[in-house]
Amino acid sequence: MKPFVTHTGIAAPLLRRNIDTDAIIPSREMKRVSKRGLGEGLFAGWRYTLPGSRELNPSFVLNRPEYAGASILLALDNFGCGSSREHAVWALAEYGVRAVIASGFGAIFHTNCIRNGILPVRLDEISITALAEQVQRDPQSNPVTIDLQTCLIQCGDLLWPFSLDESARHQLLNGLDPIALTLQHRRAIDVYEQARRKQRTWVYAPLEDSVEGVPL
């Protein structure tokens, strides 16, 4: 997983409440079993003119030229609510979103972000509105910088502090998905496995000493 230390990018304001995971990636766009190929379906219901089409809706924020290359989303309360589908985060990641700044998140979506290298930042609604106003003056000339080491957001001369659970911050700063996080304890796991082998030798009996898995 790619670490998140600092990121500077174009921020796109999608200032709506209760953007659920079906809006982020509609179920009809989930045609694959892997993480890949979902970015095209991101916000498909808003991004394209008709369901199933790929004709861009010119009024949707991510299709507007001034927000080309956006890698940060600004939203209001309860972003990522609804279904627990992890595909929503996978679609955001494949599109190139590195952070979502919102006044609130769906709990499972928030966890899925951390596990997939996307930084979810909670700011109050007044701060998000002020940040959006600053960006909207000229999005390409007003990039947003997020520093996870200092927990600061900067746009122009304006700064906003934020906080994040320390374990989540550790995961993102070091690019640790749940498997990598577990493997940090490899030595303890090996010690446990070795002790278990000694205590329950019959579990680990070679196949030649058993018949259909039953020890002789």
The answer to whether position 196 is within a domain reads no
Rounded Cα distance, 86 and 82, in Å: 11
The answer to whether position 188 is within a domain reads no
Question: How long, in residues, is the chain?
Answer: 216
Q: Are 44 and 101 in contact (CB under 8 A)?
A: no
Q: What is the pLDDT of residue 216?
A: 55
Q: What is the pLDDT of residue 185?
A: 92
Rounded Cα distance, 132 and 128, in Å: 6
**Residues 130-144: tens digit of each pLDDT:** 999 999 999 999 999
Beta strand 72-74 with 99-102: parallel, antiparallel or unpaired? Answer: parallel
The answer to whether position 169 is within a domain reads yes
The answer to whether position 201 is within a domain reads no
The answer to whether position 160 is within a domain reads yes
Q: What is the pLDDT of residue 33?
A: 77
Q: What is the pLDDT of residue 119?
A: 98
Global confidence as pTM: 0.88
Residue 140 CB contacts under 8 Å (≥ 6 apart), including other chains: 10, 66, 68
The answer to whether position 65 is within a domain reads yes
The answer to whether position 121 is within a domain reads yes
The domain that contains 148 carries what CATH number?
A: 3.20.19.10
Angle between helices 87-95 and 107-115 (to 10 degrees): 50
Q: How many domains does the chain have?
A: 1
Quote the domain boundaries for residue 39.
Answer: 6-174
Q: What is the pLDDT of residue 129?
A: 97
Residue 187 CB contacts under 8 Å (≥ 6 apart), including other chains: none
Beta strand 119-122 with 144-147: parallel, antiparallel or unpaired? Answer: unpaired
Which parts of the chain register pLDDT below 70?
A: 206-216
Kindly state the helix (H) or strand (E) to which residue 172 belongs, with its residue range.
helix 166-174
Q: What is the pLDDT of residue 195?
A: 92
Q: What is the pLDDT of residue 64?
A: 97
**What would the two tokens of residue 206 be?**
């070679």
The answer to whether position 186 is within a domain reads no
**Residues 105-115: tens digit of each pLDDT:** 999 999 999 99
Rounded Cα distance, 192 and 173, in Å: 29
